[in-house]
Amino acid sequence: MTAMATPRHRVSVAVAHAHSEIDAVADASVWSMDAAETTATLIQLTRLKARVAELEARVAEHADDEQVDTWAHRTRQTKPVVLGQVRLGQALVTRGHVRDALAAGDLVVEQARVIVAAPDQLPGDLDTTLVEKAERHLVAAGREHTAPTLRILGKRLMDVVAPDLADEYEAKQLAREEADALLATTFTMVDDGHGKCHGKFTVPSLHGAALKKMLLAIAAPQHRTATDGPAAPGAGVVPRPGRERLGRAFCELLERYPARRLPQTGGISATIVVTMTLEALEGRLEQAALLDTGEKITAATARRLACEAGLIPAVLGGRSEVLDLGRTRRFHTKAQRTAIGIRDKGCTEPGCDWPPAMCHVHHDIPWSRGGPTDVEHGRLLCPKHHTRFHRRT
């Protein structure tokens, strides 16, 4: 331990004595502790750590800036860490119930930080007795709940201290949070040049919840089994790891979002233009396809997208001048889709029992090779067999 120069204050003396007690067991083995004593000792150590943290915060609040800098330097702590203890000490001065509970070891530091901050969210003109009531409520809840739960309870303090004002306060609080969320909304995206795009975003909770629900629906085991095929016999559905499954669901959401729902710019909806040769589209030549945004994709990916996207054929001259531009006429009409469903009654692959409403309409003769978009040359395929067919071709 680092010796303290002749401690005189009772707090300094207590700290020195605590060091001496810990020194006495520095080499003690713990192998002989039974299970009950081990558990009890760990609990007491946690309580002791909380009590020491309260004492540290109290002394840190007393220290001036120079002393805080010396403390950080001599103990090799970062400035944000020590300033966090100073702020905790300052908060505990006005939150006596939290200070007492932490000093008694009834709370841990993580809980204390949540509780001292929660009353700051209450209306500024609220009676001080109600603020104190809120503090006591959270301290009592801290004996049963962890810090994340206390954070949730902290948002509902008005229900406890002033229930008649709670609804009005909640409405104002939500309006403020939603306004702040809109101001904080950001989206960044960058392509790394190696086939991957990276990004991050911040959106309001409403839109985050909506996106999560959409992705979970696409990533559901039933949908994934239909698209990727069932797992090995007896293995059941084995979903991919969470992040990968949701990532693929996000890609599928982007591919399937209807273009007609997008805003129009310059008279047309947002469209990705893919430039490729007819030979590559028909599978006679493996050649990269170029997107109008500058990226490239494989011919196989372009063919897969072409099966479910509207195609606008364009005939280009030697210098890529547009000599003739067709129009999208790729999809079967609703009436044709209904007629094919009545006729096929589901997926047409042998042994598959997928119902018509969950199947895709597939061209027997690929549309890229002149296949007509009619009832006679169309048939139903479930997502799995539709995907497999285009992987083969």
Q: Which residues pair with 314 in a beta bridge?
A: 325
Residue 344 C-alpha from the chain's centroid: 41
89-98, 190-199, 301-310, 370-379, range with the lowest pLDDT = 301-310
Cα separations (Å) of 7 from 16, 17, 320? 8, 10, 87
User: 35-62 and 10-24 are packed helices; what angle lies between their axes, rounded to 10 degrees?
Assistant: 150
Which of 214, 286, 227 has its CA nearest to residue 253? 214
Q: CA geometry: angle at 263 spanning 257 and 267, to 5°?
A: 120
Six-digit token string for 168: 């009005």
CA distance 288 to 337: 33
Q: Is 347 exposed, middle or buried (0-12, 13-18, 19+ CB in 10 A)?
A: buried
CA distance 270 to 291: 13
The answer for residues whose C-beta is within 8 angstroms of residue 114's C-beta and 6 or more apart is 138, 147, 150, 151, 154
Residue with the bigger pLDDT between 373 and 232: it is 373
Place of tokens 């280009």: 316
For 348-366, b/e burial (b = at least 16 CB within 10 A) is: bbeeeebebeebbbbbeeb
* 3-state SS assignment for residue 49: helix
The predicted model scores a pTM of 0.53
23-77 pLDDT tens trace? 998 888 989 999 999 999 999 999 999 999 999 999 999 999 999 999 999 999 9
260-311 pLDDT tens trace? 666 654 444 455 667 777 777 777 777 777 776 666 777 777 776 666 565 5
- CA atoms lying within 13 Å on the CB side of residue 388: 12
Residue with the bigger pLDDT between 246 and 107: it is 107
